[in-house]
């Protein structure tokens, strides 16, 4: 999976199963090698192969972990952006729908006073004639 995998020296495929790798290393460590150079070399080769396989597996895990971290960071950023937009939309909706009661009541009282004044002026003017205005 990783692009920097350590290849086997003989060009063979490396083992992918961690448990098989560990079993191979355990078997190599249990093999008596005292005085037997061939067995010693086989055990060393098995342990080296296990070491390379474990290193490649760790690289794979770290690569996946880095990708998941990046994706988690993207999700966190998107979540934060969504929260910010939701707050902005809530504020915009509040500005469009909510009422400032102080200004509404004040405007209503002013309109009511203006209406009463115009009504009084109308009724006063209705009873007057042109001759009364001239005095």
DSSP 8-state class, residue 6: P
22 lies in the same domain as 54: yes
Task: Indicate the number of domains in the chain.
Answer: 2
56 lies in the same domain as 110: no
**Could you give phi then psi for residue 118, rounded to 5 degrees?**
-70, -35
Query: Residues with Cβ < 8 Å from 5, sequence gap 6 or more?
Result: 14, 56, 59
pLDDT in tens, 33-59: 888 889 999 999 999 999 999 999 999
The CATH code of the domain that includes 91 is 1.20.1330.10
48 lies in the same domain as 21: yes
- Residues 21 and 14: their CA atoms lie apart, in Å, by 9
pTM given for the model: 0.56
pLDDT in tens, 85-131: 999 999 998 888 888 889 889 999 999 999 999 999 888 887 776 66
Alpha helices per DSSP H over the chain? 18-30, 37-97, 101-126, 130-133
109 lies in the same domain as 66: no
CB-based contact 14:52 (threshold 8 Å): yes
């Amino acid at each position: 999976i990783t692009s920097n995998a350590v290849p086997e020296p003989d060009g063979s495929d490396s083992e992918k199963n961690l448990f098989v790798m560990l079993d191979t290393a355990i078997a190599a460590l249990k093999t008596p090698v005292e005085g037997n150079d061939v067995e010693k070399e086989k055990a060393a080769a098995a342990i080296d192969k296990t070491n390379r396989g474990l290193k490649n597996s760790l690289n794979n895990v770290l690569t996946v972990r880095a990708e998941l971290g990046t994706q988690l960071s993207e999700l966190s950023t998107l979540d934060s952006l969504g929260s910010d937009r939701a707050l902005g939309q809530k504020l915009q909706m509040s500005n469009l729908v909510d009422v400032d009661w102080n200004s509404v009541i004040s405007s209503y009282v002013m309109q009511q006073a203006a209406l009463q004044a115009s009504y009084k002026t109308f009724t006063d003017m209705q009873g007057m004639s042109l001759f009364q205005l001239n005095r």
